[in-house]
Amino acid sequence: MPSFRAPRGTRDLLPAERSAFARLESIASDLATRYGYRAIETPLFEQSAVFERGIGEVTDVVEKELFRVAPRTEEAETWALRPEATAGIVRAYLQHGMHVLPPPVKLHLSGPMFRYDRPQAGRYRQFWQWDVEAIGDGGPAIDAEIVELGARFYREAGLPDVEILLNSIGDPVCRPAYIDTLRAHFQSAADRLPPTERQRLASNPLRLLDSKDPAMADLIATAPRLVDHLCGPCDEHFASVRRHLDGLGVGYRVEPALVRGLDYYTRTAFEFYRRGAEGQQQALGGGGRYDGLVELLGGRPTPGMGFALGLDRVVLALEALGASGAQEPASLVVVVGADPAATLERLRIATLLRADGLHARADLAVRKLGRQLESASRDGAHFAVIVGDELATGDVQLRDLAAGTQRPIPVVDLARELKRAAASHHHGAAGRG
């Protein structure tokens, strides 16, 4: 029994799963290039205040789920592992004066995020997001562009049936009056509220709308809806986002109870779900507009819009469909030898092939040729290169393991021939499929 395990809520991504993530990251970065987003990296931890101020003090993410880093010295500032990317990206945008760049500044990032939540299926303490942000454009066209980008990601990843839930959560002009109305609604049933919810009623009543407590379901269903209380400009913005989505042929469902778990949102809010899997902890991604965040973190008023997609949940959903998403490694050639002891010759030829871009393995075990060939077949190699006496005149044998045929070939022609064979094998396979 090993005595150490990965911390609760974290996972080792073993090679097959890591490869599924790599495939998603490569789809994401390819899409980012096509849509004009440039990659950025921010630290895995920030001053806690970046999250407290940015995401909001009265949110689950900050109140309960922030992984705080204990400072080693008295004078140290307090840090926290990033629970999401938006606040850190906006901090970097401000720190590096990106407001002088032509707007919108379009950035993307993929990497691990940390939330100290109770682990369960699809909910981890370390998880991966692909995050996309456009800072400096008040929309609504960019809102539609970003929602469409998210939807395209799932399609290209191979997940059909991803639904877009869309809402507008207003802005500082219309939200306060709505929150009063909402507070009055919940106040009328204050004695039925669970204790945390009663607290939230005073501090952040909007949060009550995404309460996970079953005792809240009825009250939430009958609550006044923000979409009915939008001010003129927010209402017009929301209508225009929908017109743009309609015009792009992007389907969505307006979901009036969608409020998102972070405080920085204004106006457009959206989430992605697999059809029929719309429970808590099942969102595949979400985002929205955050027109107040840049100012909250010390900049001039600047609108922003973005999303983050949960890559762990996409991998899980693909696995549930029987499509692991793991990438096929490039086809393998194994270099074997008639003389079991001649490992240097085998290694030298494998090194040549690798330098030429091929996926090659030298059999370095000192064992009979037959055993080396068996092992090459077991590894799924299509070809073996057999090194024998002909090497003295510059030749080796190229063996087609599936067909069981072989022929001599000059070492200098080997890489070209293997590439040609791999290409025709690939076309053949595609033709058959």
Please report, as ranges, the residues that interact with ligand HAM according to CB under 6 A. 84-86, 115, 117, 122-124, 127, 129, 131, 133, 261-262, 283-288, 290, 306-308, 310, 312-313
| Torsional class of 167: left (φ above 0), alpha (ψ -120 to 50), beta (otherwise) | beta
CB 283 within 8 A of CB 154: no
Measured from the CB of residue 314, what is the shortest distance to ligand HAM in angstroms?
8
Nearest approach in angstroms of CB 62 to ligand HAM is 12
Of 89 and 358, the one with the shorter C-beta distance to ligand HAM is: 89
One-character DSSP codes across 303-330: -EEEEEEEHHHHHHHHHHTT---PPPPP
Query: For the residues of 76-134, what is the DSSP string, one character each?
Result: PPPEEE-S-SHHHHHHHHHHTTGGGSSSPEEEEEEEEEE-----BTTB-SEEEEEEEEE
Contact 107, 133 (CB under 8 A): yes
Residue with smaller CB distance to ligand HAM, 283 or 385: 283
At its nearest, how many Å lie between ligand HAM and the CB of residue 36? 17
In whole angstroms, give the CA distance from residue 36 to residue 108. 10
**Which amino acid would we find at residue 321?**
L
Smallest distance from the beta carbon of 263 to ligand HAM, in angstroms? 11
Q: Which is nearer to ligand HAM, 147 or 308 (CB)?
A: 308
Sorted by sequence, the CB contacts under 8 Å of residue 330 that are 6+ apart come out as 358, 359, 422
**28 vs 283, beta carbon nearer ligand HAM:** 283
Q: How far is the CB of 125 from ligand HAM (least distance, A)?
A: 7
Residue number with CB closer to ligand HAM (18 or 367)? 18
Cα-to-chain-centroid distance, residue 341: 48
Amino acid in the structure at residue 261: G
Residue whose CB is less far from ligand HAM, 111 or 388 = 111
Minimal CB distance residue for ligand HAM = 310
* 116 or 354: CB nearest ligand HAM: 116
Q: What is the closest distance, in whole angstroms, from the C-beta atom of residue 150 to ligand HAM in the complex?
A: 10
Question: Minimum distance between the CB of residue 313 and ligand HAM, rounded to whole angstroms?
Answer: 5
The residues near 129 (Cβ < 8 Å, ≥ 6 apart) are 84, 85, 110, 111, 113, 308, 309, 310, 311
How far apart, in whole angstroms, are the C-alpha atoms of residue 143 and residue 140?
5
Instruction: Output 10 or 343, the one with its CB closest to ligand HAM.
Output: 10
The structure tokens 């379901």 sit at 217
The most distant pair of C-alpha atoms in the chain lies apart, rounded to whole Å, by 94
What is the closest distance, in whole angstroms, from the C-beta atom of residue 270 to ligand HAM in the complex?
A: 9
- Are 252 and 270 in contact by the 8 Å Cβ rule? The answer is yes
